[in-house]
């Protein structure tokens, strides 16, 4: 909605994506990465952690979920497979 209401805003910032992590289990995949946005008129870059969940269907990967969090609020959490499945 922001881009629709501010059509010039996408051209007025730089974006850098890094630290990609990919976990594939059967027909599901989790992709996480960090993104830094730097607006032309801002001195502070915005630090974001993003994730994507994909599902393989008929041999093709399809995006089923997108998440985005301010990086300062996100954290890495270790969860065992048994905890995840229950």
pTM: 0.59
Which of residues 63 and 83 earns the better pLDDT score?
A: 63
Query: Which of left, alpha, beta for 58 (phi over 0: left; psi -120 to 50: alpha)?
Result: left
The H or E element containing residue 71 is none
Q: Which structure tokens are listed for 31? A: 């992709």
Do residues 73 and 46 lie in contact, with contact meaning Cβ atoms separated by under 8 Å?
Answer: no
- Tens-place pLDDT, residues 6-60: 555 555 667 677 788 899 999 999 998 888 877 777 777 778 888 899 999 999 9
- Give the residue extent of every domain in the chain: 2-73
Q: What is the pLDDT of residue 54?
A: 93
Q: What is the pLDDT of residue 1?
A: 43
Q: What is the pLDDT of residue 77?
A: 60
Please state which architecture CATH assigns to domain 2-73. Answer: Roll (3.10)
């Amino acid at each position: 909605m922001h881009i629709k209401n501010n059509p010039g805003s996408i051209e007025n910032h730089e974006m850098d994506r890094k630290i990609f992590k990919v976990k594939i289990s059967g027909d599901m995949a989790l992709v996480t990465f960090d993104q830094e946005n730097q607006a032309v008129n801002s001195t502070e870059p915005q630090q974001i952690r993003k994730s994507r969940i994909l599902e393989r269907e008929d041999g093709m990967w399809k995006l089923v979920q997108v998440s985005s969090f301010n990086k300062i609020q996100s954290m890495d959490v270790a969860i065992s497979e048994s905890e995840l499945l229950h």
